[in-house]
A and B are shown apart, each in its own frame.
Chain A
Amino acid sequence: MDTTDRQRIDPTNSDSKTARQDSAIAIEFRGLAKSFGDIEAVQNLDIKIPRGQICGYLGPNGAGKTTTVKMATGMIAPTSGTALINGIDVVESPIQTKLMIGVVPETGALYENLTPIEYLTLVGRLYHLEPDAALEKAEEFLRLFGIADSSERMMTGFSRGMKQKVLISAALLHNPDVLFLDEPLAGLDANTALILKELLRELASQGKTVFYCSHILEVVEKVCDRVVILNGGEVVADGNVEQLKEMTHRTSLEDAFTELTSEEDLGAIVRAFSRSITGKAREAGNE
């Protein structure tokens, strides 16, 4: 089934939420592609995300979401095509574009042998913030996220959620125009997740653009103005949640996602798994 053309919707013609946004384009991919040897991780991506939009970027494991984020943030060079941030080519002007973006990477990588304050101060210096201003902001973020008490502790003993809070703080520290969030809710408790969701809406209303990669469809459904679904490195759907449901004749984003990205009967897979775990598969085979 060639879903690419059938499901693609022009986001500029989508619902009122999108229409309200500033027409200026914050993130643009023009024929963006990345290959690793024979594997085409991302193919011919053409996406325009207007300023102030929260764009959910969904796809099954290995669909090419993180590779897209890496290309858009200048971490890897595309094999072909262009990624633009506020109209500036990421490859041509990496420093200029990196100053405009904040990133929460999927891996959750940070220097764990530093304290949160040291880490955030380091990040502040890398973005040329005044040391005092960076420190003040860092302390404020840690207070808001409820980890101010641990600000002088090395992060080696931190839980995943605490590290994630530091990473989100680091992404926001320099007040970027564009945010790339790859699974930002990983490890976060319910209250912090709620704070983050509200924060993203608030930031979008101020004109910040958010590129939001996630597997948690409920959050994407609630937070994002627009959803792009990727499968096998290609965009298979692009529109707002209601449009995607309508297109797939489904009542939830979860079902729409499954319809677009899986050709197998998930129920049958679950039953086979269950049999395999309990050993009944072999018995069934013998019978």
Chain B
Amino acid sequence: MSSRQSSDDRLRHGDRKSEQAADWGQIRALFAAGLHLDLRSARAKQRNRLRIPPMISMLATYAVIGSILAFSLVKTSDPFTFTLLTFSAAMFMTAITVIMEYSSVVVSPNDYEILAHRPISSRTYYFAKVANLFFYVACTATALNLPAAIVVGLRFDGGAAVGFLYLIMALLACFAAAALIILVYSTALKLFDYQRFNTAITYVHSIATIALTFGYVLLPRMLIKENVTVAIEKGPWIWFAPPAWFAGGVELSVGLGDSRNLILALLAIVSAVVVIHAALTMISLEYSRSIAELAESSTEETVRKDRRKLRTRFAALGIMFCRNDEERAGFQLMQAYMRRNRKLRLRIYPAFGLPLAVYLFGLVSGGLNDPLAPRPVESTFPVMELLGFYCVFITLFFASAITQSDQWKASWVFFAAPLESRVGLLVGARKLVIWRYMIPFFCVLLLLMSLVMPPESALLYLFITFVLSLMAFSLLSMASPFMPLSQSIEKTRQARQMGLIMLLGIAMVFLVAITETLRESRLAGAIAVVLLLTLACLSEIALRKRLASRLAREEFLG
């Protein structure tokens, strides 16, 4: 015991003496190398004929989303309302992106073996990682907010100068949002024993996603009573809503310089500086040690005897739906990875928070109405549609995550094995996801929704949403036609796939059209549901054809 204490004492002593200083030369070198690695790894595996650099396509996606947001709010009557709404969206998207990417950037022992024995201080190592993350935040935040900055410059007094100031405030807001998420994870890393951190971080991810989505959906909707052309009234709530602080700063620059805006602007700047400073310093001294412990914890992990026998048996039942050995292999591989691989769980579990947050919002706002009952006369926020959208949105995470792994080189075994067809491997992995995650999740939702509406309506609505999700899952897998866990994890990949949200808009059209048809006529609705099922089957057939042609040509590049 005493020797253990003495080791810890010496570690702390080491922290004080030599680990504190940040070496800017090393940070620059690591930052530049990090960018090289990110951009090249994405480009090296790029297979599309257009050869658009991945970074450009990612920024284009964000610019399109930013443009849609900015121009949909162009009629807003005052700069505060406009800025509040755009900043809310930008901060939300930044925070969600950091949640999705954080594990692969900051809390990742990936390069531990390469750098741990080099003379790099803990703070240098941490700053280099955070600099890399902030670079992406700066790029995406600029792409996202530039269209809105142009609108602000053209629409409100002050012209280009105000547009520029808007962009600066937007960047500051996005940096603060990113820093806040880093701070949450740093706190988790500090609070939890590194062995429990692996489990805890998954829940932190999910809770953060629920909180963010809830806040994002709730805040503007509670404020906008009629429509966005009416200015939002500033009440006491502004002191509790960070986007309002930054919006106050922009309004100040337009010339509406009351004392309240001044305080809001100060609050925005001070809070951003405090949060960013805290994020940079909280774990920087213990960072190397934490990462080393995380890296080592994987070597000591043993497979726990699964005490959750019910879950194991349920998962085992799913394998009955696999038609051949390839499918069974894909199913079992994904089952083991989902259970034991922290990174994979981190990439998927937060997605479940999105529909749950909307459900919570629906409970609070009273918007969880029977979707098949006649629509109320007064205009209400479409909670049910948003819930359906996020249920379908989850498949985006699945489609992307099941093909990626930091152990992707192990996929050589798929190329070496005498497989008749490699299609079955991904099909099996998809079946595991559907059986083990999607079906139970929809059952939980059914239970929750049955509390506030007739169970048969909830069942029918969720059935339609489930079929749409399956369809979306097939279409998204077509965009990611690889064998399970056979692709390296790349930073820009998931962000780029955000562009596929547009595709999910089609699913929403289907959802709205079918529920409307069901409201009008049950017979026509039934026909629409049958058509939807047919479409889902066709999309699955199309996926298998695409996989067959794509995977037959696949070569192992490890």
Contact = CB atoms under 8 A, between A and B. Distances in A.
A73 B7 contact: no
Interface stretch (B33-41, B244-252, B469-477): B33-41
Closest 10 interchain pairs by CB? A80-B3, A36-B300, A109-B113, A98-B119, A125-B29, A75-B116, A73-B117, A113-B40, A103-B117, A95-B18
A139 to B, nearest CB: 18
Interface string B279-308: 000000000010011001001100000000
Interface in B83-135: 111-121
Interface string A84-110: 000001011111101101010101011
B117 A111 contact: no
B278 to A, nearest CB: 25
21 contacts: A70-B116, A74-B116, A77-B7, A77-B11, A80-B7, A81-B3, A93-B14, A94-B18, A95-B121, A96-B18, A98-B117, A98-B119, A101-B117, A111-B114, A114-B33, A114-B36, A118-B36, A122-B33, A126-B29, A154-B40, A156-B557
Among B17, B18, B116, chain A packs the most CB atoms within 10 A around the CB of: B116
B539 interface: no
Nearest to B34: A111
Interface residues of B, number: 39
Nearest to A38: B300
A113 B118 CA distance: 19
A251 to B, nearest CB: 37
Which of B13, B111, B119, B293 is the most central at the interface, judged by chain A CB atoms within 10 Å of its CB? B119
A76 interface: yes
B416 interface: no
Nearest to B36: A114
Contacts of A135: none
A103 B118 CA distance: 9
Given A31-B3, A81-B3, A98-B117, A36 B299 contact: yes
Given A91-B11, A92-B17, A74 B4 contact: no
Contacts of B296: 36, 76
Nearest to A119: B33
A156 B40 CA distance: 11
Given A73-B117, A79-B7, A126-B120, A111 B26 contact: no
Nearest to A174: B119
Contact of A91 (B14, B116, B119): B14
Contacts of A76: 292-293, 296
A254 B187 CA distance: 51
B7 A95 contact: no
Most buried by A among B25, B114, B121: B114
B25 A93 contact: no
B38 to A, nearest CB: 8
B33 A118 contact: yes
Given A76-B296, A80-B4, A128-B25, A111 B121 contact: no
A50 B132 CA distance: 42
A39 B300 CA distance: 8
Contact of A79 (B4, B18, B19, B115): B4
Contacts of A31: 3
Given A107-B113, A154-B44, A98 B3 contact: no
Nearest to A123: B118
A267 interface: no
A111 B30 CA distance: 11
A118 B18 CA distance: 27
Contact of A113 (B19, B36, B121, B300): B36
B284 to A, nearest CB: 15
B10 interface: yes
Interface in A6-39: 31, 33, 36-37, 39
Q: Interface of chain B, helix or strand or loop or mixed?
A: helix
A78 interface: yes
A127 interface: yes
Contacts of B289: 77
A89 B10 contact: yes
B75 to A, nearest CB: 47
Contact of B117 (A37, A75, A110, A118): A75
Interface string A110-147: 11011000100011011110000000000000000000
Given A36-B299, A79-B3, A93-B18, 14 more contacts: A31-B3, A36-B300, A75-B113, A76-B293, A76-B296, A92-B13, A98-B117, A98-B118, A110-B114, A122-B29, A123-B118, A125-B29, A126-B118, A128-B25
Contacts of B300: 36-37, 39
B17 A126 contact: no
A92 B40 CA distance: 38
Contact of A92 (B14, B26, B293): B14
A205 B29 CA distance: 34
Contacts of B18: 93-96
B17 to A, nearest CB: 7
A127 B33 contact: no
A95 B119 contact: yes
**Which of A77, A103, A156 has the largest number of chain B CB atoms within 10 A?**
A77
Contacts of A91: 7, 10-11, 14
A180 B118 CA distance: 12
A18 B423 CA distance: 61
Given A79-B4, A98-B117, A126-B119, A156 B44 contact: yes
A125 B25 CA distance: 7
B14 A94 contact: yes
Interface string B12-52: 01100111000001100110010011001100100000000
Given A95-B18, A95-B19, A78 B33 contact: no
Interface string B243-270: 0000000000000000000000000000
A76 B118 CA distance: 13
Contact of A126 (B11, B13, B26, B41): B26
B531 to A, nearest CB: 47
B111 A127 contact: no
Nearest to A80: B3
Given A94-B14, A111-B37, A75 B292 contact: yes
A75 B112 contact: yes
A109 B115 CA distance: 10
Contacts of B116: 70, 73-75
B12 to A, nearest CB: 10
Contacts of B37: 111, 113-114
Contacts of A89: 10, 14
Contacts of B4: 79-80
Interface in A199-242: none
A133 B44 CA distance: 30
A167 to B, nearest CB: 10
Given A36-B300, A156-B557, A74 B19 contact: no
B169 to A, nearest CB: 36
Contacts of B40: 113-114, 154
Interface string B428-463: 000000000000000000000000000000000000
